[in-house]
């Protein structure tokens, strides 16, 4: 026991065995608590940055998809807004037109009896001719309308609201060129007839105005327009029918080597070199003047399909 105690005592720092040797120091003896704390803060920051980068890379495709969907949704909202504005403008124009138009009964009575001066016989004659009354009412209904020819047209496939906005701007530009100081009140405008890829010219544009004074002002300045733009009043169905017959007769004369400069149309009548060639009757028949040889020919009476083909051009676009 004594020897064991002595041996243990010899191993103490004061034992002769350890005298003269420096005690071994650990690497952690010189590390302070603040340095350890900074080390763990740096490790935490690096881990946080790495996790943030990984999350950003993982969410990048999802963010792009959300951005694309938001842009698409925004575009659809803008398209819907433009479409709603066009429909509101159209409905507003129709309401204003209905409010400014006289009642049907009043217009009919005025059409058949405005010149009767209480003459019952004249009134009776008018009542027995409803076609005349209908034409008078149609003419009154079209009094605020003008048809613009030569206005360039959007390509097929263009969205409807985009076509409407483009046509409205082109009409506005034309009206501004006529009188920049006058702010013409346009109710609505739309293309007439169906779109055709083979058409040599754009479809005409029917423009409805809110005030008769605007129509009168534009009509008085129509000759200031530059080709190919032309303005014409909107015709009734009967007037379109008469025009179809006269234009076909005119074309037949041109094919017969009659100079264009010698052919003139005035109302229902067609003149050649100042002489009456013929006129269109109430029954839509071309009656040639007896002074011209040949009288009526195969083109004297125009079939109704020719009238219908022109009539189709007086209805709103449906493509």
pLDDT digits (tens, 9 = 90+) for 45-93: 888 888 888 888 888 888 888 888 888 888 888 888 888 888 888 888 7
Is 265's pLDDT higher than 50? yes
Question: Of all helices (H) and strands (E), which one includes residue 314?
Answer: none
Q: What CATH number should be reported for the domain holding residue 183?
A: 3.30.70.1820
The answer to whether the CB of 166 falls within 8 A of the CB of 154 is: yes
Give a yes or no: residue 16 inside a domain: no
Instruction: Give the pLDDT score at 252.
Output: 93
Same domain, 153 and 216: yes
Give a yes or no: residue 148 inside a domain: yes
pTM of structure: 0.46
Tell which of 181, 210, 234 closes a domain. 234
Report d(CA 35, CA 182) in Å as an integer: 82
Is 291's pLDDT higher than 70? yes
Instruction: Give the pLDDT score at 199.
Output: 85
Question: Of all helices (H) and strands (E), which one includes residue 270?
Answer: strand 269-272
Instruction: Give the pLDDT score at 174.
Output: 94
Is 9's pLDDT higher than 60? no
Give a yes or no: residue 271 inside a domain: yes
Task: Check residue 118 and report its DSSP letter.
Answer: T
Task: Check residue 301 and report its DSSP letter.
Answer: B
Q: What end-to-end distance do the CA atoms of the chain give, in Å?
A: 119
Give a yes or no: residue 15 inside a domain: no
Same domain, 121 and 84: no
Q: What percent of the chain is modeled with pLDDT above 70?
A: 68
Strand order across the beta sheet in which 269-272 lies: 263-266, 269-272, 275-280, 286-288
Tell which of 204, 234, 264 closes a domain. 234
Instruction: Give the pLDDT score at 30.
Output: 63
Same domain, 221 and 175: yes
Provide φ and ψ at 4, rounded to 5°. Answer: -65, -40
Give a yes or no: residue 13 inside a domain: no
Is 310's pLDDT higher than 50? no
Containing structural domain, residue 147: 142-234
Instruction: Give the pLDDT score at 299.
Output: 40
In DSSP notation, 153-219 reads -PPTT--HHHHHHHHHHHHHHHHHHH-TT----EEEEEEBS---TT-SSPPPEEEEES-HHHHHHHH
Which token pair is 92? 């507003």
Mean pLDDT value across the chain: 75
Same domain, 250 and 299: yes
Give a yes or no: residue 26 inside a domain: no
CA distances from 71 to 59, 67, 68, 78 (A): 18, 6, 5, 11
Instruction: Give the pLDDT score at 181.
Output: 77
Residue 295, classed as helix, strand or coil, is coil
Same domain, 208 and 278: no
Tell which of 234, 262, 291 closes a domain. 234
CA nearest neighbour of 139 among 97, 93, 107, 109: 107
Taking only the tens place, the pLDDT of each residue in 125-181 is 444 454 454 455 455 678 899 999 999 999 888 898 999 999 999 999 999 998 877
Q: How many domains does the chain have?
A: 4
Same domain, 94 and 110: no
Taking only the tens place, the pLDDT of each residue in 102-118 is 544 444 444 434 444 44
Q: Which of 220-234, 237-251, 289-303 shows the lowest mean pLDDT across its residues?
A: 289-303
């Amino acid at each position: 026991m004594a020897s064991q105690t002595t041996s243990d005592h010899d191993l103490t720092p004061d034992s002769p065995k350890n005298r003269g040797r420096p005690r071994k120091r650990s690497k952690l003896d010189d590390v302070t608590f603040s340095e350890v704390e900074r080390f763990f803060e740096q490790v935490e920051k690096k881990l946080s940055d790495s996790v943030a980068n990984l999350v950003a890379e993982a969410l990048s495709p999802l963010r792009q998809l959300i951005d694309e969907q938001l842009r698409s949704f925004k575009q659809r909202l803008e398209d819907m807004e433009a479409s709603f504005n066009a429909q509101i403008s159209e409905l507003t124009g129709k309401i204003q037109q209905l409010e400014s138009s006289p009642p049907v009964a009043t217009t009919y009575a005025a059409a058949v009896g405005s010149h009767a001066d209480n003459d019952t016989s004249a009134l009776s004659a008018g009542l027995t001719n409803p076609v005349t009354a209908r034409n008078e009412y149609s003419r009154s209904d079209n009094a605020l309308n003008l048809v613009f020819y030569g206005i360039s047209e959007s390509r097929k496939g263009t969205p409807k609201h985009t076509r409407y906005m483009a046509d409205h701007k082109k009409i506005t530009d034309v009206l501004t060129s006529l009188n920049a100081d006058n702010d013409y009140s346009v109710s609505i405008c739309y293309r007439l007839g169906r779109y055709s890829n083979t058409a040599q010219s754009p479809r005409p544009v029917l423009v409805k105005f809110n005030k008769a004074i605007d129509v009168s002002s534009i009509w008085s300045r129509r000759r200031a327009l530059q080709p190919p733009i032309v303005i014409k009043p909107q015709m009734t169905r009967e007037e379109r029918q008469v025009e179809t017959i006269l234009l076909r007769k005119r074309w037949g004369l041109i094919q017969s080597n009659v100079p264009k400069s010698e052919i003139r149309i005035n109302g229902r009548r067609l003149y050649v070199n100042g002489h009456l060639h013929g006129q269109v009757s109430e029954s839509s028949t071309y009656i040639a003047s007896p002074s011209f040889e040949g009288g009526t020919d195969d083109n004297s009476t125009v079939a109704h399909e020719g009238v219908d083909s022109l009539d189709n051009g007086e209805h709103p676009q449906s493509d």
